[in-house]
């Protein structure tokens, strides 16, 4: 499981490199957990997260948007991906996390330089977040 | 960049021949030193990408505070011919109608004296960064609908917040008339409805300042500013509601791009003809989000007056006057040199000159006020729009200092606690819940705001009226 934040003048760029497509989604949750960095005093809870997109990268962007929406509306900070069912243009997942007061840090997931591809047997994704 | 050539003292151009897909040249207002800073990231390539948009006229323009964004560079301006040119939600940005509002207090820094710290504390208590539900003004149903349609006017009429005077001194009187709340999704309402009166995070702030220097006495007098006076600058936008509107429509336009036969060098430039169903729906939703943003800054200004009332008394609160409020992330239908165009301003500010019908009668002889926040701890400037902006930049000037260093780069150079001590040693009271967030906004992460405003003045886009220095900062 690997992800890293790449230098960008004003925004945040996330790169994920995983064994599987599922791994990309799981690593993205871990990255968000680090970013929102809430002290997570609440009980561990789960949320169903559904997303759609006409290609894999749009699907990942939509799915991350759902995490931002949960943080913004419920103060829900994700901790880990519990389950995920990846269809052609849909994803259905269960994410575990806690409610708290995460900072309103991430405005949106952009489509700038958005990537989700297989390379040398690995799955790589890149997204730029507007912060 | 080798294709860059100098047009005049303050203007540089990449000709449209530089790339096969450019429809117009890309032009940047800058001097050599700013250009060096600009050339370190991909902002000029992003500006060339903007020059490929269908319907763009004259040139893709960049202000001297340009820096790398996503899709459009921040500091980018694109005028696109109506009705068939495109509208690009990414050309407005996720924080629709992010902007700044300046309030002028009826007392000087000397008169505020030792109550300054209490005032800053009171501001931080009353103006949350804001996340989740239950902000200071939790609007639902018909109340939210009215704000989306009418902007701050709805708060004046239904809640007694602020006054007609405030609305008079707001760009577009705080209301874009094409707003249609029906074009704003339920998700956007759910995300932002509880956030009215909250500042948000990142580079948003409420700053208490002192007028340090008057540079244009007649204009300063008309704007109600004098040396030594306390001012309060509010920087915020449309919060989660605007972010979601942009998200919704980038997704929708990205999916429809092939149907419109448009090819783009960057997916974030996703766009649709302004006259298409997607284009019309976005413009109606964007206008509603812009109205929400004006209402947000209006609500924050109300909290500022409440704080002043608490610390200095009701009389001073009532006499705290709004100088003006400007948007710096918006697309507006305007007429320039006989053409109807949709001017996308992404991190750029409208700067109409003296005599424009669009500005308050009190300011008619001086030009539209523009506020240029510096980085935290440095000066901000009050400018006035100049005639050159209409000839050269579709009535537009810069919006801030412009970042030159990444957030992580800033954090590597200074810790939040150390920066807090430094600012306080310089007499600036700081309230910020996060040391990390504070470090990311360190002054050295930005370009020199004085150089940026000097360029727009030399280019004839706007002129300096007053310089403001911070004495207290509340950061989201």
pLDDT of amino acid A101: 81
Task: Name which residue leads in pLDDT, B139 or B88.
Answer: B88
User: Using 50, 70 and 90 to split pLDDT, how confident is the model at B445?
Assistant: confident
Taking Cα atoms as reference points, which of B377, B395, B365, B375 lies closest to residue B456?
A: B395
Q: Each residue of B271-308: pLDDT tens digit?
A: 999 999 999 999 999 999 999 999 999 999 999 999 99
> Quick check: A10 and B67 CB within 8 A?
yes
Residues of A with CB under 8 A from a CB of B: 5, 7-12, 53-54, 58, 61-62, 65, 68-69, 71-75, 101-105, 107-114, 128, 130-131
Mutate to test the interface with A, among B247, B259, B409, B438 (most CBs of A within 10 A): B247
Q: What is the mean pLDDT of residues B107-136?
A: 86
Distance CA B238, CA B98 (A): 6
pLDDT above 90 (res A62): yes
Which chain B positions have a beta carbon within 8 Å of A101's beta carbon? 131-132
What whole-number distance in Å separates Cα of residue B235 and Cα of residue B102?
9
Query: B1 pLDDT exceeds 70?
Result: no
Q: What is the dihedral sign for C-alpha B154, B158, B161, B164? A: positive
Exposure string for A74-104, b = 16+ CB within 10 A, e = fewer: bbbbbbebeebebeeeebebebebbbbbbbb
Interface of B with A in 63-82 (CB under 8 A): 67-71, 74
> What's the complex ipTM?
0.91
Residue A37: is its pLDDT beyond 80? Answer: no
Mean pLDDT of A111-116: 94
Q: Which of A12, A74, A108 lies closest to B243 in CB terms?
A: A108
Q: How far is A96 from chain B (nearest CA, A)?
A: 18
Chain A environment of B71 (Cβ under 8 Å)? 110-112
Does residue B118 surpass a pLDDT of 70?
Answer: yes
Q: To the nearest whole number, what is the mean pLDDT of chain B?
A: 94
Q: What is the pLDDT of residue A39?
A: 61
pTM for this model (two decimals):
0.95
- As a whole number of Å, the end-to-end CA separation of chain A is 24
First and final CA of chain B: distance in angstroms? 37
- Whether the pLDDT of residue B407 is over 90: the answer is no
Coil, strand or helix at A112: coil
Pick from A105, A121, A114, A119: nearest CA to A15: A114
Q: What is the pLDDT of residue A78?
A: 92
Domain ranges of chain A: 2-130
Which has more confidence, B202 or B468? Answer: B468
Cite the active site residues of B. Answer: 399
Establish, for the pair of chains A and B, how many residue pairs have beta carbons separated by less than 8 Å: 117
> Which CATH number applies to A2-130: 3.30.460.20, 3.40.50.720, 3.55.10.10, 3.40.920.10?
3.55.10.10
Across residues B432-437, what is the average pLDDT?
81
**CA-based radius of gyration for chain A:** 14
**Could you give the CA distance from residue B79 to residue B180 in angstroms, rounded to a whole number?**
23
At B130 the pLDDT is: 62
pLDDT band at residue B78 using 50, 70 and 90 as cut-offs: very high
- Report the CATH number of the B5-89+97-404+446-475 domain: 3.90.1860.10
> Tell me, what's the pLDDT at A109?
95
Query: Mean per-residue pLDDT for B216-237?
Result: 98
């Amino acid at each position: 499981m690997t992800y890293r934040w790449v230098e960008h003048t004003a925004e945040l760029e996330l790169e994920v490199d995983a064994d599987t497509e599922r791994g990309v989604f799981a690593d993205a949750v871990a990255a968000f957990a680090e970013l929102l960095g809430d002290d997570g005093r609440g009980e561990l809870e789960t949320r169903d997260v559904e997303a759609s997109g006409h290609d894999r990268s749009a699907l990942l962007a939509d799915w991350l948007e759902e995490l931002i929406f949960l943080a913004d509306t419920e103060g829900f900070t994700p901790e880990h991906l519990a389950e995920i069912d990846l269809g052609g243009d849909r994803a259905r997942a269960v994410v575990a996390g806690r409610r708290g007061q995460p900072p309103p840090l991430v405005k949106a997931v952009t489509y700038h330089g958005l990537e989700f591809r297989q390379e040398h047997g690995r799955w790589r994704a890149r997204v730029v977040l507007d912060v | 960049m080798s294709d860059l050539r100098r047009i005049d003292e303050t203007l540089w151009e990449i000709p449209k021949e530089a790339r096969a897909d450019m429809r117009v040249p890309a032009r940047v207002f800058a001097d050599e030193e700013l250009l060096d800073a600009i050339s370190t990231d991909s902002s000029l390539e992003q500006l060339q990408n903007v020059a490929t948009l269908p319907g763009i006229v004259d040139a893709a323009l960049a202000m001297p505070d340009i820096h790398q964004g996503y899709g459009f560079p921040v500091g980018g301006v694109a005028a696109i011919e109506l009705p068939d040119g495109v509208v690009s939600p990414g050309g407005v940005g996720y924080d629709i109608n992010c902007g700044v509002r300046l309030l002028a207090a009826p007392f000087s820094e000397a008169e505020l004296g030792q109550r300054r710290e209490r005032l800053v504390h009171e501001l931080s208590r009353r103006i949350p960064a804001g996340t989740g539900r239950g902000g200071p003004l939790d609007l639902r149903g018909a109340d939210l609908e009215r704000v989306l349609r009418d902007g701050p006017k709805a708060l004046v009429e239904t809640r007694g917040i602020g006054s007609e005077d405030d609305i008079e001194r707001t760009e577009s009187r705080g209301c874009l008339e094409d707003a249609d709340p029906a074009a704003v999704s339920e998700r956007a309402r759910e995300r932002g409805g509880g956030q009215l009166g909250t500042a948000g995070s990142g580079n948003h702030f409420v700053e208490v300042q002192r007028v340090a220097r008057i540079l244009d006495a007649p204009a300063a007098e008309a704007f109600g500013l004098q040396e030594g006076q306390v001012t309060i600058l509010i920087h915020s936008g449309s919060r989660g509601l605007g972010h979601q509107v942009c998200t919704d429509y980038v997704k929708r336009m990205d999916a429809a791009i092939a149907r419109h036969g448009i090819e783009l060098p960057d997916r974030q430039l996703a766009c649709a003809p302004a006259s298409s169903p997607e284009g019309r729906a976005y413009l109606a939703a964007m206008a509603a989000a812009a109205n929400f943003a004006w209402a947000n800054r209006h609500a924050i200004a109300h909290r500022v007056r409440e704080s002043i009332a608490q610390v200095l008394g009701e009389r001073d609160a009532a006499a705290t006057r709004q100088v003006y409020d400007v948007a710096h992330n918006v697309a507006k239908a305007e007429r320039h040199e006989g053409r109807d165009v949709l001017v996308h301003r992404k991190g750029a500010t409208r700067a109409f000159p003296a005599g424009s019908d669009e500005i308050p009668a009190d300011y008619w002889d001086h030009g539209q006020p523009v506020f240029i926040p510096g980085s935290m701890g440095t000066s901000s400037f009050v400018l006035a729009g100049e005639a050159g902006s209409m000839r050269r930049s579709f009535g537009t000037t810069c919006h801030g200092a412009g970042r030159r260093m990444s957030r992580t780069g800033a954090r590597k150079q200074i810790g939040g606690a150390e920066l807090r001590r430094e600012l306080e040693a310089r007499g600036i009271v700081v309230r910020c819940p996060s040391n990390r967030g504070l470090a990311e906004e360190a002054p050295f992460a930005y370009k020199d705001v004085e150089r940026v405003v000097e360029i727009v003045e030399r280019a004839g886009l706007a002129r300096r009226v007053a310089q403001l220095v911070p004495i207290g900062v509340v950061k989201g």
